[in-house]
Amino acid sequence: MVREGTDGTPQDGTARDRTVRDRDRAPDRSVAERAGNGTVAYRRAADYVAAVMIHLRDNVLLREPLRREHLKPRLLGHWGSCPGITLTYAALNALVKERDTDVLLVTGPGHGAPANHAHLWLEGTHAEYDPALARTADGLTELARRYCAPDGFPSHLSPAVPGTVHEGGELGYALSTAFGAALDAPDRLVACVVGDGEAETGPTAAAWHATKFLDPVTSGAVLPVLHLNGYKISSPTIFGTMSADELTSLFRGYGWAPRIVDMTEDPLSERMTHAVRDAHAAIADIQRRARGGEVPERPAWPMIVLRSPKGLGAPAEVGGKRIEGTFRAHQIPLPAVHEDDEQFAALEAWLRSYRPEELFDADGRPLPHVLAACPEGERRIGMNPAGNGGRLRRPLDLPPLEPYAVDVTEGPGTASASPTRVLAEWLTETVRRTEARRDFRIVSPDELASNKLDGVLAATGRAYTWPVGLYAEGLAPDGRVMEVLSEHTCQGWLQGYLQTGRHGLFPTYEAFASVVDSMVNQYAKWLKTSGEVPWRTPVSSLTYLLTSEGWRQEHNGYSHQGPGFIDNLLTKRRTVTGVYLPPDANTLLVTMERVLADTGRINLVVAGKHPAAQWLGLEE
């Protein structure tokens, strides 16, 4: 039985069979050989530039026969996901041009960076930040030279890449970060490419539920693109082996409305462009109805499952081994080009199959029919203002401390108070002061009340948009407290929120903060590198408030003792981390006033929640 998807794509549960037939086609088939003008020509150009970045240091437009001295001495990078990123980027470009949509892109397969760089170069964003990367042969040569060079761009995304708020390649954090970027940004569409290897991770599995926390009235939307190219480094992906029926059932169960786009039989079709357009129309309909008072009970947000061969466009077969559509296309499809004549000849044929002479003029400038696919100005995806969120950031409107301070005038130790309960009163006023701008959120893994911070619920609700049949308190679709039992999701939400110019706080139990140790490591590196990029404006610091500390666990005992999170922070540069141990409520107030006004750092505050002696006044 063959069903038609909402984009007209067959959904018959036989995707694996179709992929096998696709791989059995004539080995001389090439994406580039059959490509015409318009969007497809733009895709040709982007894939060509990405392939050049990985392989060449000279003769980047193939104006002379390829020689081995034109090759980079060492080939680095990942080709496998580049064509899928290009399919997505080109479709988003078409959406922006047609509907003037505000699009921010989060790319999970970070090692597909050559594709992102290719689009940034073609749309002129790279040249905006550095004239040496102009859209000329010299500019392309310089871009290729910098890729994977010690003084240039790494093989993955980084803060040095315009329009980027997330490195990718971090094993599952892209989707939650994308949702953080969409919160309280009602006009923003955050597209998120999720690799099918990345999709196997626990953080991604939890993040699929984030639509249940996304208010269609006050926030924007996330459009996930699950890119199924079938393989990880050397083995098949779980999602790549699933049929269309299985994928549809899974994501419908999560609450999505999946659209399956299969590009294996006709990679040159415009199916992806049509699917993105249809998905955006469905998003706009949900938002229009919700903002008109017709709030849907269980809005099924659209998502796209994009199936394409691994390393689409690479040589089909060399040396008797399949390349395109297999794990061999994951990184460098032709790793022995320096010494193997057959691979070297295959590389030149591959690059020439894109027919660069039809895409670039004599000076290496992309021809008008290629550039016609690119948006202009700040509508270029790489120039989206949220991609450099520090420029959007405004100081957090913090209330004065004095009305909330504990009176210790009778002497140190004479008063008793719960430090976090005192802090909650001050945070409650902070939430009220930011209601109009909606630029402050608290994320927590279901521990707000336990940590004596639930007083803030007097000013806002717990975010949740689906109907709840069970007894519950304080839920509200537009609530700015977000509680989910996934520390990874909380971290991703907050990173995306901060990176796009807002403020937030992450309170949690000390014992469980180490769940996000690896995310902290990556984010610390992001902040360190961001400080070295001249055009990056610092964003609000990420602040953890750890309570239920190891020396005051009481009935929870040994199972809840885990003070090691502080050890991880202390291994980082002091320029990007700060550690605070306030001994009482007033010191906690002063500390939080400082860290919530801070930028460009990760701050750790460890404080007690139980009533205890109070020692210092605000001045002290």
Q: Is residue 490 part of a domain?
A: yes
Residue range 264-275: mean pLDDT, rounded: 93
> Which of 173, 290, 310 lies closest to 237 in space, CA to CA?
310
Residue in the block written with tokens 């599995």: 205
First to last CA, the chain: 76
CB atoms within 10 A of CB 368: 8
User: Can you point out the beta strands (E) in 474-556?
Assistant: 475-476, 481-483, 503-509, 542-547
Tally of CA atoms within 13 A in the half-sphere of 144 that contains its CB? 27
> Which of 199, 193, 205 lies closest to 237 in space, CA to CA?
199
Both 595 and 556 in a single domain?
A: yes
Average pLDDT over the chain, rounded to an integer: 92
Both 398 and 312 in a single domain?
A: no
Q: Which of 389, 412, 438 marks a domain boundary?
A: 389
Both 288 and 430 in a single domain?
A: no
Domain CATH code at residue 528: 3.40.50.970
Q: What is the DSSP string of 303-363?
A: EEEEE--TTTTS-SEETTEE-TTSGGGSS-SSTTTTT-HHHHHHHHHHHHTT-GGGTB-TT
Q: Is residue 620 part of a domain?
A: no
Higher pLDDT, 386 or 168: 386
Q: Which of 389, 423, 452 marks a domain boundary?
A: 389
Structure-token pair, residue 52: 């050049």
Element housing 221 (H / E): strand 221-228
Q: 578 has which bridge partners? A: 603
Residue range 497-513: mean pLDDT, rounded: 95
Q: Is residue 545 part of a domain?
A: yes
Burial per residue of 32-70, b for 16 or more beta-carbon CB atoms within 10 angstroms, e otherwise: beebeebbbbbbbbbbbbbbbbbbbbebbbbeeebeeeb
Both 220 and 329 in a single domain?
A: yes
Residue 386 CA: distances (Å) to CA of 115, 162, 170, 245, 545: 20, 10, 21, 36, 26
Q: Is residue 461 part of a domain?
A: yes
Both 422 and 510 in a single domain?
A: yes
Q: How far apart (Å, rounded) are the C-alpha atoms in residues 608 and 141?
A: 57
> Which of 307, 242, 355, 344 lies closest to 81 in space, CA to CA?
307
* pLDDT attached to residue 598: 97
CB atoms within 10 A of CB 101: 19
> Which of 257, 299, 309 lies closest to 5 in space, CA to CA?
257
Q: 204 has which bridge partners? A: none
126-130, Cβ contacts within 8 angstroms, sequence gap of 24 or more: 126/162, 126/382, 128/162, 128/383, 129/162, 129/535
List, for residues 201-210, the tens digit of each pLDDT value.
999 999 999 9
* pLDDT attached to residue 510: 87
Both 414 and 378 in a single domain?
A: no
Q: Are 61 and 137 in contact (CB under 8 A)?
A: yes
Q: How far apart (Å, rounded) are the C-alpha atoms in residues 312 and 316?
A: 9
Residue range 364-384: mean pLDDT, rounded: 97
The pTM of the full predicted model, rounded to 2 decimals, is 0.93
List, for residues 110-167, the tens digit of each pLDDT value.
889 999 999 999 999 999 999 999 999 999 999 999 999 999 999 999 999 999 999 9
Both 348 and 440 in a single domain?
A: no
Q: Are 181 and 501 in contact (CB under 8 A)?
A: no
Both 64 and 27 in a single domain?
A: yes
Does residue 375 carry a pLDDT above 60?
A: yes
Both 342 and 250 in a single domain?
A: yes
Q: Is residue 435 part of a domain?
A: yes
3-state secondary structure of 373: coil
Both 357 and 432 in a single domain?
A: no
Q: Report helix angle 82-99 to 113-122, nearest 10.
A: 40
Q: Is residue 1 part of a domain?
A: no
* pLDDT attached to residue 555: 66
Q: Report helix angle 82-99 to 271-291, nearest 10.
A: 50
Residue in the block written with tokens 């750092």: 601
Tally of CA atoms within 13 A in the half-sphere of 419 that contains its CB? 27
Does residue 243 carry a pLDDT above 90?
A: yes
* pLDDT attached to residue 22: 35
Q: Is residue 3 part of a domain?
A: no
Helix %, strand %, coil % of the chain (to 5)? 40, 15, 45
Both 172 and 95 in a single domain?
A: yes
Residue in the block written with tokens 């020396």: 551
Does residue 170 carry a pLDDT above 80?
A: no
Q: What is the DSSP string of 1-23?
A: --EE-TTS-EE-S-HHHHHHHHH
Q: Report helix angle 487-499 to 174-182, nearest 10.
A: 50
Residue 178: phi and psi, rounded to 5, are -60, -40
Work out the burial of residue 254: count CB atoms within 10 Å of its CB; fewer than 13 is exposed, 13-18 middle, 19 or more buried. Answer: middle
Residue in the block written with tokens 């027919």: 355
Q: Is residue 296 part of a domain?
A: yes
Highest average pLDDT, of 9-13, 333-337, 472-476, comes from 333-337
Q: Are 402 and 465 in contact (CB under 8 A)?
A: no
Does residue 565 carry a pLDDT above 70?
A: yes
Work out the burial of residue 200: count CB atoms within 10 Å of its CB; fewer than 13 is exposed, 13-18 middle, 19 or more buried. Answer: middle
3-state secondary structure of 108: coil
Structure-token pair, residue 588: 């906690």
Q: Which of 325, 354, 389 marks a domain boundary?
A: 389
Q: Are 162 and 125 in contact (CB under 8 A)?
A: yes
Indicate the range of 89-98, 178-187, 541-550 predicted with least confidence.
541-550
Q: How far apart (Å, rounded) are the C-alpha atoms in residues 581 and 606?
A: 5
Q: How confident is the model at residue 169 (pLDDT cuts 50, 70, 90)?
A: confident
The structural domain count of the chain equals: 2
Q: How confident is the model at residue 550 (pLDDT cuts 50, 70, 90)?
A: low
> Which of 157, 184, 155 lies closest to 173 in space, CA to CA?
157
> Residue 147 is part of which domain span?
18-389
User: Please, what's the largest Cα pairwise distance for the chain?
Assistant: 89
> Which of 124, 190, 546, 543 lies closest to 370 in space, CA to CA?
124
Q: How confident is the model at residue 553 (pLDDT cuts 50, 70, 90)?
A: low
Higher pLDDT, 553 or 436: 436
- DSSP strand pairing (462-463 vs 415-417): unpaired
Q: Are 490 and 443 in contact (CB under 8 A)?
A: yes
Both 359 and 441 in a single domain?
A: no
Q: How far apart (Å, rounded) are the C-alpha atoms in residues 263 and 241?
A: 16
Q: 505 has which bridge partners? A: 442
Structure-token pair, residue 293: 């008072």
